[in-house]
Amino acid sequence: MKTKLHLMQFDSEQIARSDLVVGEYYFPEQEQGGDIIPGTWDPSRTFPNTLVFITQDAQSGFWIIIAVDDSNTSLAQHANCRLAWDNLSAVILGGTYTGNDMSALYVSPVPAGAYNPWNGQPPAPPEQPAQ
C-alpha cells in the first residue's frame, strides 16, 4: 500500500492533467494496433473525482488523491496540495489546510485502509419530497 497521500485541488481535470507534477500520474490517450485507448489516471496511485466537503458544503473543482511510497516534496509543497499525510504515522506532511479546516473536512471516497486526518461530518442526505 502507498503510504504518503496527497489531496489535490484544481479548477478542472484538464488543468490537473497539464500540471508538470500531477500530470505525471496521467496516462494520455494512445493508439495501439489501430485502436484508441482512452487516457486515464494511474489506477495504482490515484483516486480522481474525490468529493470534498467543508462544513457539509461541497467544494468546487477537480479533486484527486495521489498516493506514493515515499515522501514527495513536489506533491506535498505543491500550490494545489490541500493536505498531505503519512498513512502509517498519521503525520501531516504538508498542504494548505490548517487544523480548523480539518475539523470541518470530509472526503469521499477514502482509499481502503487510509488513515483519515479529518473529522468533519458527511454531507446531509438530500431532502425527500413529501408524499
Residue 46 falls inside a structural domain: yes
Amino acid identity of 130?
A
- Domains: count for the chain: 1
Residue 128 falls inside a structural domain: no
pLDDT at 14 over 80: yes
Buried/exposed code over 32-47 (b: 16+ C-beta within 10 A; e: otherwise) = eeeeeeeeebeeeebb
Question: What's the domain range around 69?
Answer: 4-28+37-108
pLDDT score recorded for residue 85 = 87
Considering the entire predicted model, what is its pTM?
Answer: 0.84
pLDDT score recorded for residue 126 = 66
Contacts with 55 (C-beta within 8 Å, 6 or more apart), sequence order: 104, 120
State the Cα angle at 49 between 59 and 60, rounded to 5°.
20
Residue 131 falls inside a structural domain: no
Residue 95 falls inside a structural domain: yes
